Structure 1
Amino acid sequence: MRLLPAPVEDFLCPAPEFGDWQVFASFLAQQGHEPATTVVLSDVSVDEGAGPLRATGIEQLFSPGVRDTPEGLAVVEPVDASLLRITSGQLAVSDPGWIGEAPRTVAVPPGEFPVTLSPLRTTRGAGVAAARVTFLDIPTREWQMALRPDEDLGLLGEGQFYGVGVDTGTAAFMDATRTVIEDQLDEDLFIPLDSHFTVELPSTETEPNLIAFRAGQGDGAYPVWIGRTDDGQVGCVVVDFQLHSADGGE
């Protein structure tokens, strides 16, 4: 049995107000603890290093110039791809080999819209760092992660994200109604992408086109960002393949 240095009654007191920790000082002193003479408090934003992945510097992904990468300095050289035709009002972002596997979709206006790729050239070769389809030539006010209805940002840990899954080394923009003939994918899409950054599967009489591109370093998951204008419209949609720091490095 442990003997207390004072009667039990001496350790009892009314519940203090939140933050009024001074009332415990006498109890701690009776236990032989000494209060610190100096306490240093630092203000730290709860946003710093906490929560899911945030879109920072997305615009720089499409700005020509030198960037810092894990492999050293590299050069960004944005290129225009084909026009993407949207007929249903739903853009789909998916691995073209797995279109039927719940693609990530974004509500957008129908029409034809330019697709831009951001190849990143290093001493070891080149890869597509990001891909963008632009719906409005208006500056982006905020970026939102493209989510499915069953996905909750509140469940993500630090730096985590929901993104498009890639299992063929390829991603694509397309209308949500577009389908593909799997037996023709190798000849019409995957083999041409061995020597090109992007390939278009033209529209048919009943379906819109599909624009595919190499997916960064290959298979994995990549964030999809929705850029919204001041009035909340979708100005663009970007897939970031995370080949270099989005803030431009230096």
Structure 2
Amino acid sequence: MIIDVTYGEDWDAASRTVLGPMSRQRAAARDTAGEPYAVVLRGEGRPQPVAVLHIAWAHGYFGVWAYDDQGRRTREFDLRRLEPERLFLRHVARWRYDTQDMPEFAGQAGRVRVDLYPDGRGRKVSEPRGSGGGSRHTMANMPQEERWVPAPEFGAWEWTVALVTGGQFPDALREAPETNPTPLATALSTANWQPPTPMRPRHLDEMFTPGTRFPPPYDGDAGPYIVQRIIEAGPLRLPTGQVIACDPSWITPGKPFTVAVPPGDYRTQIATAAYAGEYEGTPTHIEDHTAARVLISEKPTAAWELALRPGEDPRTLRNDEFYGFGVDSGTGCFVDAATAPQLIGRGNTLTGEADPDGILVREDPESGGNLIAYPSGMGDGTYPVWIGRDADGEVTCFVADMLILGDLILGGEELLRD
């Protein structure tokens, strides 16, 4: 088996061409610089690729798509360079097309998705009949040694061919000039791949600015979300400065974030936003708890980062993913690591104890700390916590985003207020 190798910006399945083809030397320079590029691997005389590689070492990303004879993507391999000499197999997906004319990613196509993590965890989701049938969720029992592969040198794509062909290594690789070149400007505007982008912080200061308008919660007659109130929930007492965010009714609180702050009492606020709607002809006013924050300093925040627990590696996150805290009782909280064992996991935390805004403060005389709980937006789910830092790199706040308000502020760059 002879494999023709072409380098470029991307692969266009519709026209069966490489977008923005580039020389091996130029691709090698991008590889060294960590800049994104694509590698198209085609069998001799085959118009469709055997595989397309998307590489961006600055992001630690090495992606592989396998193609069938109809030009449909059949398998995805998402590998991450977590170590200098090794790639970690973060994600594998497979689609099964039962007929030759079934469209790519058709809803009825059978599919399997496997997500793996460096600590040995993994999950597998099987949907034999696609989205129209049931699904099975199991643990992904893949040995640790199979989750890692050596990081390839530039041009050594033989192992990738073996990966997508079930172990068949090519007899030779040869550089193939692109016979239908695409102008670079067209390629850049047409290329549809980019390295995975995890969830980014979304207007966290504006969530605590009354009057700021966000898009409505759904299409129709609902008005925009408008930040209504900033509820002062009282000081959060942190005897060790090790912060935990969790569901207060869980059996165990989990580990504190890797970023700690000096022990002390810190102002804690809960933000709400409301929108006007209509139900069966009656106007309604719906107010939701949208975010909670612990203010560590009064300095303005210059940068945001995702709060992480030990063992969580942001380099493993895929598009729009984040590490967060889970909620099963419709309630979230902030608490110190020394206080959590005494106050977490005591049944339904809010029953008969919360104030009219749904806020609950519990004290622990033994540690000197307390717990501040609040309604978690729309209810159960998983929510990120962001850490703000000032221009000197010092922590300014912790913000739990309930993922209700949108990515955009209505009115473009300027905040529209009542």
> Could you tell me the TM-score, scaled by structure 1's length?
0.77
Aligned to 1:108: 261
Is 1:59 the counterpart of 2:228? The answer is no
Instruction: Classify 1:111/1:48 alpha carbon distance in 2 versus 1 (closer, same or farther; 3 Å).
Output: farther
* Higher share in strand: 2
Aligned equivalent of 2:311, options 144, 147, 150: 150
Q: Helix, strand or coil: the match of 1:61?
A: helix
Whether the aligned pair in 2 keeps the contact of 1:165 and 1:222 (CA below 8 Å) is: yes
C-alpha distance in structure 2 between counterparts of 1:37 and 1:47, whole Å = 16
Which protein is bigger by CA-based radius of gyration?
1
Query: Which residue type is aligned with residue 68 of structure 1?
Result: P
Q: How does 1:96-175 map to 2 (within 5 A)?
A: 96-98=248-250, 100-105=252-257, 106-123=259-276, 125-175=286-336
Q: How does 1:217-236 map to 2 (within 5 A)?
A: 217-236=378-397
Aligned equivalent of 1:180, options 343, 352, 358: 343
Q: Deviations over 1:173-225 (max 9, x none)?
A: 11111122755x53x63344484231111342444111100001111100100
Query: Which residue type is aligned with residue 81 of structure 1?
Result: A
C-alpha distance in structure 2 between counterparts of 1:49 and 1:116, whole Å = 36
Whether the aligned pair in 1 keeps the contact of 2:333 and 2:371 (CA below 8 Å) is: yes
Aligned to 2:25: 18
Instruction: Classify 1:135/1:246 alpha carbon distance in 2 versus 1 (closer, same or farther; 3 Å).
Output: farther
Aligned equivalent of 1:74, options 201, 225, 229: 225
Query: Which residue type is aligned with residue 215 of structure 2?
Result: D
Instruction: Classify 1:48/1:129 alpha carbon distance in 2 versus 1 (closer, same or farther; 3 Å).
Output: farther
C-alpha deviation, 1:247, in angstroms: 3.7
Query: Which residue type is aligned with residue 63 of structure 1?
Result: T
> Could you tell me the TM-score, scaled by structure 2's length?
0.48
Whether the aligned pair in 1 keeps the contact of 2:251 and 2:345 (CA below 8 Å) is: no
C-alpha distance in structure 1 between counterparts of 2:199 and 2:275, whole Å = 26
C-alpha distance in structure 2 between counterparts of 1:102 and 1:37, whole Å = 52
C-alpha distance in structure 2 between counterparts of 1:51 and 1:243, whole Å = 20
How many residues get paired? Answer: 223
C-alpha deviation, 1:243, in angstroms: 0.7
Query: Which residue type is aligned with residue 216 of structure 2?
Result: T
Q: Helix, strand or coil: the match of 1:154?
A: helix
Instruction: Classify 1:165/1:17 alpha carbon distance in 2 versus 1 (closer, same or farther; 3 Å).
Output: closer
Higher RCO (Cα < 8 Å, 6 or more apart): 1
C-alpha distance in structure 1 between counterparts of 2:307 and 2:199, whole Å = 12
Q: Helix, strand or coil: the match of 1:202?
A: strand
C-alpha deviation, 1:69, in angstroms: 2.8
C-alpha distance in structure 2 between counterparts of 1:38 and 1:67, whole Å = 40
C-alpha distance in structure 1 between counterparts of 2:322 and 2:182, whole Å = 44
Q: Which runs of 5 or more structure 1 residues have no equivalent in the other structure?
A: 1-15, 21-27
Whether the aligned pair in 1 keeps the contact of 2:235 and 2:265 (CA below 8 Å) is: yes
Whether the aligned pair in 2 keeps the contact of 1:69 and 1:243 (CA below 8 Å) is: no
Whether the aligned pair in 1 keeps the contact of 2:301 and 2:390 (CA below 8 Å) is: yes
C-alpha distance in structure 1 between counterparts of 2:337 and 2:267, whole Å = 17
Whether the aligned pair in 1 keeps the contact of 2:248 and 2:345 (CA below 8 Å) is: no
Question: Percent identical across equivalent pairs?
Answer: 33
C-alpha distance in structure 2 between counterparts of 1:203 and 1:78, whole Å = 26
Q: Which runs of 5 or more structure 2 residues have no equivalent in the other structure?
A: 1-22, 28-44, 46-177, 277-284, 412-418
Query: Which residue type is aligned with residue 180 of structure 1?
Result: L
C-alpha deviation, 1:103, in angstroms: 3.9
Instruction: Classify 1:41/1:115 alpha carbon distance in 2 versus 1 (closer, same or farther; 3 Å).
Output: same
C-alpha distance in structure 2 between counterparts of 1:96 and 1:149, whole Å = 20
Whether the aligned pair in 2 keeps the contact of 1:189 and 1:201 (CA below 8 Å) is: no
Whether the aligned pair in 2 keeps the contact of 1:170 and 1:212 (CA below 8 Å) is: yes
C-alpha deviation, 1:165, in angstroms: 0.7
C-alpha deviation, 1:37, in angstroms: 7.8
Moved over 4 A (4+): 36-39, 43-49
Instruction: Classify 1:45/1:126 alpha carbon distance in 2 versus 1 (closer, same or farther; 3 Å).
Output: farther
C-alpha distance in structure 2 between counterparts of 1:244 and 1:87, whole Å = 33
C-alpha distance in structure 2 between counterparts of 1:46 and 1:137, whole Å = 42
Q: Helix, strand or coil: the match of 1:69?
A: coil
Whether the aligned pair in 2 keeps the contact of 1:162 and 1:223 (CA below 8 Å) is: yes
Instruction: Classify 1:47/1:89 alpha carbon distance in 2 versus 1 (closer, same or farther; 3 Å).
Output: farther
